[in-house]
Amino acid sequence: MNMPTPAVHVTPACKGRCPLVHGVCAAASGSPVPITALPVRLATQKTSNASALASPSPSSKSNTLTPSITAMTRDLATPDPLAAAIMPPSDETPADRWAREQAEAHARRVSEQIDDQIKAEKMAMKKRKPPIKVLLLGQSESGKSTTVKNFQLAYAYSSFLAERAAWRAVIHLNLVRSVSSIMNVLTKELPPTTPAFGYELPLPRSSVDIDEVEVEETASVNPSTTSPLTETHVALLRRLEPLRDVQRNLERSLGAASTEAIQEGSVSAAPWDGGKFRPQEFAVTSRSGWKSALNRVRGIRGEDSDSVKGGVAGRPSHQPRPSVSRKSGSSRRSESLPEAGGTQPTVERAAEAIVSFASDMHALWADPAVKAVLDKRGMRPEEGPGFFLNDVNRIAAQDYQPSDDDVVRARLRTMGVQEYRFIFEKGSEAGREWLIYDVGGARSLRHAWYPYFDDINAIIFLAPISCFDEALAEDKRVNRLQDSLLLWKAVCSTKILARVQLILFLNKCDLLQKKLARGVRVVDHVPTYHGRPNDAPSAAKYFRAQFKDILTKYSPEQRGFYSYLTSVVDTKATAIQVAAIREGIQRNHLKDADIL
């Protein structure tokens, strides 16, 4: 008799010990194997189930595949051999049968529920809207992080609030740094016969011996007759000298983000723009910047400990793009993190020291002779980043807690790329997730931007137009406005960004206004400005036209020019602009998706 070809398959894994479902082994974890290829074990098992078949003798040649299957087929008058395997026992009582059927019905219901759930999840996945991704670009100190703070204030205030206390150390450092830089200028004003300040002078070790050193040293000081500085100033400078240690300690506590950009020389404005750039060689420096710095003073160890994973909106989380993180192991800049909570005592000691220097810091800033020296040397700390000397008494108070405005004005540079998640609760697109990427703007950090160009919806580009007379911190030969224009040109002409909506913030308009009001002439730094009025609206209009020309000329495809005159430290005005931008980006996104 010809052996019928079985219509069932089992996997090698189960070796036929499990029931089959729809002709395929239920324990399938490997490729199904035709039953004909099975070792003898399956056949012997089936034959024992079908007790009609006599067991073959161990010595018998019938212990091979062919005779066993022959036996099995003979035995199986039932059409499905596996049904026999799971058949209820022949001696099942009515009660047992009832229980079995109940259990089977329950199992079916559970199985159907799971199927429904999987189906519903699949549908929801299909329906979920992709996040809108916005990248903030611009040179260092252009106001990118300050713009993020405006988004946080407007749309994620609880997370802004959660971080606010941690900014105290940053604000203290900003304050001390202003004092230090004033001290540096004043020290230069002293005549050469005056003993140098700083490291050559034996510094008082504590506030107790300040007076002794003061008396001893000031006796020999003979300030220049042309300098407005007197022995009182020298004494003041000497008393403030220990603040330099406070600054160093705070910088150490806050990490790399708290130091300002060092001069780097000839790094190009846009490292990705020019043929030789290979993005995979670079990595994002993620262990620095706000998050890490704030975590340090909050006593949180590790960079992701407060990252947002589908929860609170608006807090930073670093999520490097795959193309970036792949290489991050070798090229990531390492920064040793202190032990959890280890920076807290240092930060508190610094706060106490600052309180004890409050009146001297106030005296320094309020002194007309000091102002005269700063003016003469062209130094205007009040127009620089993170300036808090006007509020020294409030900030150097024992119980000081930063206000919203203090946080917005605080300066801490961004060194990697930081991602902020926002889930907007109101409006037509409620529930839509936004991802905002804040990057480090120094020239040496711009290579890390490129991987983020990939699938971005919009770029907010910040150009600080008050900087037309300033040099880049990284390269003193480069004018800051020139750098912004070069960078804008590179962004406009980058092919991968051809369809990305570009929004230009001509920022620091408040400082532009102040600068021109005190007599700085645009034409002295921008010769093509010739013949135009030296006022802020005219200058802003002129700069805007330059940016627009570049967009028109260098965009691979025609696109709209959206620009705003901003002062992002003005949170009220910025809130209105941010709302308009949000609406605009959303509309553009919907239009792209053909929803509008």
Ligand X SMILES: Nc1nc2c(ncn2[C@@H]2O[C@H](COP(=O)(O)OP(=O)(O)OP(=O)(O)O)[C@@H](O)[C@H]2O)c(=O)[nH]1
| Binding-site positions for GTP | 507-510
CA 379 to chain centre: 33
Residue 140 binding target from ligand X, Mg ion, none, CB below 5 to 8 Å by type: ligand X
DSSP state of 407: H
Minimum CB separation of residue 151 from ligand X in Å reads 12
Nearest-angstrom CA–CA distance, 234 and 195: 10
**140 binds ligand X per the rule CB under 6 A:** yes
DSSP states along 322-369: HHHHTTHHHHSPP-PPPPTTTTHHHHHHHHHHHHHTHHHHHHHHH-HH
Choices 73-81, 134-142, 310-318, 352-360; region in contact with ligand X by CB under 6 A:
134-142
Q: Which is nearer to ligand X, 297 or 569 (CB)?
A: 569
Token look-up 């022995």 returns: 231
Instruction: For the beta carbon of residue 404, count every other beta carbon within 10 angstroms.
Output: 15
Site string for ligand X, 94-133 (x = CB under 6 A): ----------------------------------------
**470 binds ligand X per the rule CB under 6 A:** no
Site string for ligand X, 425-464 (x = CB under 6 A): ---------------xxx----------------------
Nearest-angstrom CA–CA distance, 350 and 245: 9
Please report, as a single letter, which amino acid is at residue 202: P
Choices 81-89, 143-151, 158-166, 517-525; region in contact with ligand X by CB under 6 A:
143-151
Out of 46, 71, 132, 141, the only residue in the binding site for ligand X (CB under 6 A) is: 141
Q: Which is nearer to ligand X, 514 or 587 (CB)?
A: 514
Q: Which is nearer to ligand X, 459 or 511 (CB)?
A: 511
Partner residues linked to 134 by β-bridges: 436, 458
Binding residues for ligand X restricted to 494-533, rule: CB under 6 A: 507-508, 510-511
Site string for ligand X, 548-577 (x = CB under 6 A): -------------------xxx--------
Instruction: For the beta carbon of residue 332, count every other beta carbon within 10 angstroms.
Output: 18
Contact criterion met (CB below 8 Å) for 162 and 315? yes
Residue 177 binding target from Mg ion, ligand X, none, CB below 5 to 8 Å by type: none
Rg of the chain in Å (alpha carbons): 36
> Residue 429: how many CA atoms within 13 Å on its side-chain side?
22
CA angle 247, 251, 254 (to 5 degrees): 135
**484 binds ligand X per the rule CB under 6 A:** no
Residue 143 binding target from ligand X, Mg ion, none, CB below 5 to 8 Å by type: ligand X
Minimum CB separation of residue 445 from ligand X in Å reads 7
Query: Which residue has the closest beta carbon to ligand X?
Result: 441
Backbone angles phi, psi at 460, to 5 degrees: -100, 115
Reference 41, options 19, 20, 12; nearest CA is 12
CA 471 to chain centre: 27
Nearest-angstrom CA–CA distance, 95 and 100: 9
Residue 507 binding target from ligand X, Mg ion, none, CB below 5 to 8 Å by type: ligand X
Choices 56-64, 176-184, 296-304, 406-414; region in contact with ligand X by CB under 6 A:
406-414
Nearest-angstrom CA–CA distance, 114 and 435: 33
Contact criterion met (CB below 8 Å) for 184 and 377? no
Q: Which is nearer to Mg ion, 145 or 258 (CB)?
A: 145
**414 binds ligand X per the rule CB under 6 A:** yes
**178 binds ligand X per the rule CB under 6 A:** no
Reference 305, options 118, 142, 166; nearest CA is 166
> Residue 76: how many CA atoms within 13 Å on its side-chain side?
22
> Residue 211: how many CA atoms within 13 Å on its side-chain side?
1
**223 binds ligand X per the rule CB under 6 A:** no
Burial of 1 (0-12, 13-18, 19+ CB in 10 A): exposed
Minimum CB separation of residue 297 from ligand X in Å reads 17
Size of the site for ligand X (CB under 6 A): 24
Minimum CB separation of residue 145 from ligand X in Å reads 3
Q: Which is nearer to Mg ion, 223 or 416 (CB)?
A: 416
**144 binds ligand X per the rule CB under 6 A:** yes
Which pair of tokens denotes residue 308? 């947002």
Token look-up 């759930």 returns: 117
Out of 139, 249, 307, 414, the only residue in the binding site for Mg ion (CB under 5 A) is: 414
Q: Which is nearer to Mg ion, 6 or 385 (CB)?
A: 385
Minimum CB separation of residue 570 from ligand X in Å reads 7
Contact criterion met (CB below 8 Å) for 196 and 274? no
Site string for Mg ion, 134-173 (x = CB under 5 A): ----------xx----------------------------
Q: Which is nearer to ligand X, 233 or 411 (CB)?
A: 411
Binding site for Mg ion (CB under 5 A): 144-145, 414
Binding site for ligand X (CB under 6 A): 138, 140-146, 385-386, 409, 411, 413-414, 440-442, 507-508, 510-511, 567-569
